[in-house]
Amino acid sequence: MKFLSPITLLSLYLLSASQSVVSRPTDVYAPRILEPHGGETWFVGEKKTVVWDTTSPPKQITNRYGSIRLRKDGHTMDDMDLGSRFDILDGSKEITVPSVPEGSDYRIVLFGDSGNWSKAFSIANSA
């Protein structure tokens, strides 16, 4: 009579357990950014609230944790984390306008499932 080693038994158990995992379908959620709405000027150091539309989220969201970044001239500034680890269904997040060179064509990027960006706005050093 042959006996199976404990490692063989454990391997068989883990293999059978992994086959019974049921995956739930998930949807990518890309809410539209409402604020900034475009054309306004933000000033360095100001508190601003980024607002996005949460009226019709899918039932299963791939990633519910959001982050906000700044985008300029078509490039997302990955080192410019303006907020992170918030629930994407909150619909808003207060941020502080970072110290960046004055200019236009700045955009807010909202990451959760995907990256949505706002319309262009300007950042200036003082009012």
Phi, psi of 91 (to 5 degrees): 85, -10
Higher pLDDT, 77 or 58: 77
Residue 21 lies in a domain: no
106 part of a folded domain: yes
Do β-strands 121-124 and 115-117 pair in parallel, antiparallel, or remain unpaired?
unpaired
Provide the domain limits for residue 100.
Answer: 33-124
Q: Does a structural domain hold residue 13?
A: no
Q: Is residue 67 part of a domain?
A: yes
What pLDDT, on the 0 to 100 scale, is given for residue 51? 98
Higher pLDDT, 25 or 83: 83
pLDDT digits (tens, 9 = 90+) for 60-119: 888 889 999 999 999 999 888 999 999 999 999 999 999 999 999 999 999 875 678 899
Query: How many Å apart are CA 59 and CA 79, to the nearest integer?
Result: 31
pTM of the model: 0.75
What's residue 95's pLDDT?
98
Neighbours of 96 (CB within 10 A): 12
Please indicate, yes or no, if residue 16 is contained in any of the structural domains. Answer: no
Q: How many domains does the chain have?
A: 1
pLDDT in tens, 76-93: 998 889 999 999 999 999
Look at residue 39 and tell me if it is in a domain: yes
More confident residue, 50 or 13: 50
- How far is the C-alpha of 80 from the C-alpha of 71, rounded, in Å? 9
Is residue 8 situated within a structural domain? no
